[in-house]
């Protein structure tokens, strides 16, 4: 990864899958004007485009596993090199492993704050398993935000479906991976005093956003 000394500092959002990182990143993007870089979105776009990288990533995603560091790092490298990332960036789902965190450091990308969203695994399973989305990316939840018509998107009328990696077995596999691979990343950043801030991820998105913005002031 080549150095990008012109890059401004960014915020890293960490937390287990389904902890609400994407929702909070979108709100922060609108508030701060930073670029939201979601590895999940980058990977799904590569898969949808049928690129070589996307085809490789799809096999891992369909199996409920994590995409190898080398593939993810290449995608994030491209996103960070874009001019729009120079004002500031929000990393959502990256770094997920120590190798990814060290890749950021090797590129001289400065992280100003690591927001750690805390949500019990039992609740996360319910959040993820109940998600449904349409081909245009609109997301609903069978329990918390159901569509007006069963299995039909309120916004575009397309059919809603469960993502292939949102089944109970695959969700549990992702949570186990998070515990073994991403928790060490949080501990790595915690060696820098004040860099990691824990935020209670329970409650509605407005309540969580208020907590997140409070720690960023």
**Residues annotated as part of the active site:** 21, 96, 131, 163, 174
**Cα gap 93→89, rounded to integer Å:** 13
Residue 163 in tokens = 């993502």
**Cα gap 63→170, rounded to integer Å:** 7
The answer to whether residues 39 and 149 touch, using CB atoms and an 8 Å cutoff, is: no
Residue 215 in tokens = 């720690």
Residue 64 in tokens = 């409920």
**Cα gap 125→113, rounded to integer Å:** 27
Give bridge partners of residue 13 from the DSSP assignment.
92, 115
**Cα gap 63→182, rounded to integer Å:** 19
Residue 128 in tokens = 């993820």
Q: Distance between alpha carbon 168 and the CA centroid of its chain, in Å? A: 19
**Cα gap 19→22, rounded to integer Å:** 9
The answer to whether residues 106 and 72 touch, using CB atoms and an 8 Å cutoff, is: no
């Amino acid at each position: 990864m080549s150095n990008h000394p012109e890059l401004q500092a960014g915020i890293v959002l960490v937390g287990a899958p389904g902890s609400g990182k994407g929702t909070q990143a979108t709100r922060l993007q609108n508030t701060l004007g930073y670029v939201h870089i979601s590895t999940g979105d980058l990977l799904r776009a590569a898969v949808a485009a049928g690129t070589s990288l996307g085809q490789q990533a799809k096999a891992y995603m369909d199996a409920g596993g994590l995409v190898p560091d080398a593939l993810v790092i290449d995608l994030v490298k491209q996103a960070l090199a874009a001019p729009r990332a120079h004002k500031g960036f929000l990393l959502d789902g990256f770094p997920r492993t120590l190798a990814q965190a060290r890749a950021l450091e090797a590129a001289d990308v400065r992280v100003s704050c690591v927001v750690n969203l805390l949500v019990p695994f039992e609740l996360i399973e319910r959040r993820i398993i109940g998600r449904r989305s349409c081909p245009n990316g609109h997301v609903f939840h069978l329990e918390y935000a159901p569509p007006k018509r069963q299995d039909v998107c309120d916004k575009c009328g397309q059919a809603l479906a469960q993502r292939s990696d949102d089944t109970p077995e695959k969700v549990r596999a992702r949570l186990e991976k998070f515990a073994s691979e991403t928790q060490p990343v949080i501990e790595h950043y915690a060696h820098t005093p004040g860099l990691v801030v824990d935020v209670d991820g329970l409650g509605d998105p407005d309540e969580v956003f208020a907590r997140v913005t409070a720690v960023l002031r």
